[in-house]
Amino acid sequence: MRSNRWIAATVFALVWFSGCGTVEDKTGGKVSGKLIIDNSTIMDSDTKDQNSRAHSNDVTNDAQRISNPATVTGFMGPINGINDISDVYRVTLLKSQTISLTTADVANDDFDLYLYGMDRKKVADSIGTGRIDALSVPADGEYYIKVYGYSIAKYGGNGGLYTLNIGTKGATSSPADHLHLSSFYDFVDNDLLIKPYKTMSRAALASQLSTDLNSTNLQIESLDNSPAVSRLTLKPSTTSRSSSDLDVSIPDTIRAIKALRRAQSVEYAEPNYIRTAFKTPNDTYYPYQWHLPLIALPEAWDITTGSSSVIVAVIDTGVVLNHPDLKGNLIGGYDFISDRTNAADGGGIDANPNDPGDGGGAKPSSFHGTHVSGTIAASSNNSAGVTGVSWGSKIMPLRVLGVRGSTDYDLVQSILFAAKLPNSSNRVPPKRADIINMSLGGPGTSVTIQNAITKARAEGVIIVVAAGNDNKNANNYSPAGADGVVCVSAVGQDALKAPYSNYGTVVDVAAPGGDTSVDRNGDGYADGVLSTISNDSGEMGYKFYQGTSMAAPHMAGVLALMKSIYPALSPLDVDLILEGNHPKTSKSIAIDKGSNGKDIYYGNGLINALKAVRVAQDLKNSPTSTTPKLSALPTQITFAPDSITQSLTLYNSGSGSLNIQNINTTQSWLSVQKDRANNYTVTVNRSNLSAGTYEADIVISSNGGTVTVGVIMQVSSQTTGVQSGDSGTVYVILLDSNFKTITSTTTTKQKGYTYSLNVNSGSYYLVAGTDIDNDGYISNEGENLGGYPTISSVSKIEVDGSRSGVNFRVGAQPSLKDSKHIQSSTQVTFPKEIKR
Amino acid sequence: MKQLIRPILLAVSISLLTGCSMAQSADQEHKKADIRTSKSQISSKLITNTEEWSNIYYSTKAKGMLPKPELPSIDFTQKNLLFVTMGEQPSTGYAIEYKDGSVVVEDETLKITVDLTTPPTGSVQATLMTEPVLFLEISKSGYKHIEIYDSDAHLLDSIKTLF
């Protein structure tokens, strides 16, 4: 039976083909080759395509075993008069892998994604009404994945296509937040928040909603119809557990939301989520410290508030040691001001870092060091005063700034002291500082200061400095322009560069420094940074200051939080993390601002405390040994009946240098060969093996330990074998220059996806695709597609005689479009014929 | 000579006087006038009533302080306040002080001299935005103009009073 099949292609480039394949017969006759199907390409075993063999995968006993990673194209809907509403897959997954389900025709279809353990208990679901559903794997292990055709089960219809991505990039892995739903979220049972499209009376709205909910058998308990948002409460119902072998029952709240969204009678409908507050300190003036939430500190404090074993040395004017909001967090310290007049405390260097004031009688004292220290580690959550960034950490006050400022010599001595190195005091602290904060500087560079910084850094001290306040290039300032420091620029309450902040290529990161010319948050106070202070009368208090002096301690405090989680955090770690080059994490600890990537105003971005502590957690959970550690991916390999080769990657999950010493297999039918770098090809030889399931191990030994990779191989056509590299029946179509179908054929995995088309000499286009919804079209959204030489740039091939070796890739489309057929500016439609 | 002037609240206010430019988008304009000390940045104002005194006090010396301090009492029926500011500066180390005994009245002009301090060359300073200010109590009469000079006799600013 002939049927017309139409295809639509993406972009066609009129590039003459040359050089590929082998000309065998100049008198004309044949084009042949092989379709390249990735191992990760898999087709739903029960689709509507009548040219593909169908095997039910509706229940766990018939679960379709698939590889990981995988891109599965599937169909949900009526097949031969019976509704296929469930596709179950069985797969080995890794913790934190993302599973995503893309529904091709979201306007008509609502497909849901579920994850179950081997005990058939649901562990995650994504049951929203958007195009994408996605969930994260909670732990390594074997799972059932179920794609459930909610709309097919409930409303019937012609069915539709989907794509299931496991460990591969789908169209997007991010579901639209406002359409996302999960039964694992906390929300008030039977409560919905809705917004009608237009204002209407309560009675009219209730009537409409009742109609929309008719299909759910849910009834309205109450309706609070306010202008901003309406709250609908349902009457409790007895939700029966679904009788399917994998439970797909969902809360009544979600059933109701799905019904209202499908009816499109409201602008939105969503659960009444239960939100929990992040840790919020009870300090009196915390509400005025806009600069702390600006860098996600409340969220970070849920993870850590700082450890008392982390010490931040504040090299500054000293600290008012008896300030009530600081005294509990101070340790040791020293006064390195060597000039008695500058020191204004009756002596030169001494063991007393108390700040007597830097006013010298000519001006009010700044008590700058007290302010900086409070930002880092003011005693917090004590119902008084202000909140510090890392309030569990300790401050080591080191005094260098006197009435006339500081000298390079005094500054150098304080740096050495903080690093527990020999210095002019002839003393060292019991424990060196983990972090140094220097909210100071001046124009010009200093080799002396650079040398001290280099030495301190070599001891493991992370050094944070302010960029300066001249709105000039910080490269020419010291210590801002020194090597080996974390240079911090300032932003205001709007997270934009403060007008005074220096900038330049030396800026590593930005943090709140304030701008007291404005009150953007309308709290009645200028937008400075609020912290601890004193005055020349000895009164303790708090004040808003602005400057890169205020920005640097925010960064120092965030680093203290990171150190509290991951004590081994080194200066090099910080450098590599900021650059995005750390071997154990690619995550950033800042929010990109300004130009994409690093720029001269914000460096690598506005520091974000939550991202930072999470990175610290990642580092903590990563192997910390300095020795190599052998790891393999995948950890288990399964060969489906027709699968001959698989890839294996061996890599170093530790540090140092990994040397593979030996690779052995425990069975003679199994062999491993190195391809390149870390990649190996695992091959099975089924010769002389009778039908059955075989097991073997690949044992890899190295200087980083020994790893065993299990292998399972099937010799038979059992459908319960793990499938991979299977796109079902693929239609291969040859088109003339006018895009008219000349001839076509089908191929399958059993044929090795080889094809052969008889054709006269001439110029042709060659395309291939699947038609799993059996609608007569290939390349619908959710179907696989390929073109020679690539689908993104299909070129004519010249056939002068026969051409063989015309191979090209067929796979999931690079992106899903809104229309049923791929649209492009050069779209052409091709008729195609299939001969049986 | 009757006492024409009494320095009070000799102060460098570590805060910003209102009226400075709004923060600008870093993606737009970054050219801003050099805010290093210059004689032309000195500005002054004669405060004659409590309302003016409150506005300036809480926007300079007491700016951003918590708890909010009480406004020092000034008897404006007997005295005025002369307010002089160095403007916004990029660090500590700046100061403005009344030069003792420098006040004179010539041709109905009250002339005072102030000493301006800037950070020593090559010194390291705290990277804190500051605004050195000076408040002087002066008599309510006996002059029609006020001129402020530096120690090199350069005129820094002048005020024409309404008296």
How many Å apart are CA A90 and CA A540, to the nearest integer?
Answer: 66
Q: Annotated catalytic sites of A, by residue?
A: 316, 368, 549
Interface touch A516/B129, C-beta < 8 Å: yes
| Range of lowest pLDDT (A145-154, A175-184, A395-404) | A175-184
How far does B111 lie from chain A, in Å, by closest CA? 21
Task: Please report the residues numbered 141 through 160 in chain B whose beta carbons come closer than 8 angstroms to any beta carbon of chain A.
Answer: none
Q: Which residues in chain A are closer than 8 Å to B10, comparing Cβ atoms?
A: 362-363
Burial of A187 from C-beta contacts in 10 A (0-12 / 13-18 / 19+): buried
B1 belongs to a structural domain: no
pLDDT in tens, A347-359: 899 999 999 999 9
User: Of A15-24, A64-73, A180-189, B76-85, where does the model show the most confidence?
Assistant: B76-85
How many Å apart are CA A715 and CA B46, to the nearest integer?
Answer: 100
pLDDT category, A361, cuts 50, 70, 90?
confident
**Which residue, chain included where needed, has tokens 């009494």?**
B6
pLDDT value at B48 more than 90: yes
pLDDT category, A723, cuts 50, 70, 90?
low
Mean pLDDT of A288-309: 93
Q: What angle do CA A383, A387, A393 make, to 5 degrees?
A: 110
Cα dihedral sign, A324-A329-A333-A335:
negative
Q: Which residues in chain A are closer than 8 Å to B130, comparing Cβ atoms?
A: 366
| Range of lowest pLDDT (A445-454, A497-506, A771-780, B30-39) | B30-39
DSSP labels, A279-345: P----TTGGG-TTTGGGTHHHHHTT-S--TT-EEEEEES-B-TT-TTTGGGB---EE----HHHH-S
DSSP A104: S
B94 belongs to a structural domain: yes
Q: Which residues of A243-272 are buried (b: 16+ CB within 10 A; e: fewer)?
A: ebbbbbebbbbbbbbbbbbbbebbebbbbb
Predicted pLDDT of residue A240: 58
Backbone angles phi, psi at B106, to 5 degrees: -135, 130
Mean pLDDT of A281-297: 92
Interface touch A405/B30, C-beta < 8 Å: no
Return the higher-pLDDT residue of A292 and B35: A292
pLDDT in tens, A582-627: 888 888 999 988 888 899 999 999 999 999 999 999 898 875 556 7
pLDDT value at A801 more than 90: no
Distance between alpha carbon B16 and the CA centroid of its chain, in Å?
12
Q: Which residues in chain B are closer than 8 Å to A517, comparing Cβ atoms?
A: 16, 18, 20-23
Domain count, chain B: 1
Nearest to A545 among B27, B67, B128 (CB): B128
B90 belongs to a structural domain: yes
Predicted pLDDT of residue A786: 86
pLDDT in tens, B119-140: 988 889 999 999 999 999 999 8
Backbone angles phi, psi at A27, to 5 degrees: -85, 0
Predicted pLDDT of residue A793: 67
How many Å apart are CA A433 and CA A418, to the nearest integer?
Answer: 5
Return the higher-pLDDT residue of A742 and A403: A403
Q: Are A509 and A603 in contact (CB under 8 A)?
A: yes
Alpha carbon distances (Å) from A415 to A210, A214, A338, A422: 73, 74, 15, 10
pLDDT value at A710 more than 80: yes
pLDDT value at A643 more than 50: yes
Predicted pLDDT of residue B34: 26
Predicted pLDDT of residue A644: 85
Predicted pLDDT of residue A215: 87
pLDDT in tens, A327-339: 999 999 999 999 9
Task: Using a pLDDT cut of 90, give the percent of chain B over it.
Answer: 62
Q: Which residues in chain A are closer than 8 Å to B11, comparing Cβ atoms?
A: 363-364
pLDDT value at A688 more than 70: yes
Predicted pLDDT of residue B162: 62
Q: Are A40 and A822 in contact (CB under 8 A)?
A: no
Q: Which residues in chain B are closer than 8 Å to A471, comparing Cβ atoms?
A: 30, 32, 35
Cα Dmax for chain A = 107
Residues in chain A: 836
| Count of pairs with CB atoms under 8 A, one residue in A, one in B | 175
pLDDT in tens, A13-61: 222 222 333 333 445 688 999 998 877 789 999 998 888 778 899 999 9
ipTM computed for the complex: 0.77
B83 belongs to a structural domain: yes
Domain that holds residue B143: 13-160
pLDDT value at A462 more than 50: yes
Mean pLDDT of A422-427: 95
B3 belongs to a structural domain: no
Interface touch A406/B123, C-beta < 8 Å: yes
B2 belongs to a structural domain: no
How many Å apart are CA B46 and CA B61, to the nearest integer?
Answer: 16
How many Å apart are CA A740 and CA A104, to the nearest integer?
Answer: 27
Which residues touch A177 (CB under 8 Å, ≥6 apart)?
A: none
Output the average pLDDT for chain A: 85
At A237 the three-state DSSP class reads coil
Give the predicted TM-score (pTM) of the model: 0.57
How far does A404 lie from chain B, in Å, by closest CA? 6
B20 belongs to a structural domain: yes
How many Å apart are CA A633 and CA A359, to the nearest integer?
Answer: 65
Interface touch A400/B124, C-beta < 8 Å: yes
Output the average pLDDT for chain B: 77
Mean pLDDT of A482-508: 94
B7 belongs to a structural domain: no
pLDDT value at B7 more than 70: no
How many Å apart are CA A768 and CA A807, to the nearest integer?
Answer: 11
Q: How many CB atoms lie within 10 A of CB A537?
A: 6
How far does B107 lie from chain A, in Å, by closest CA? 31
Predicted pLDDT of residue A821: 35
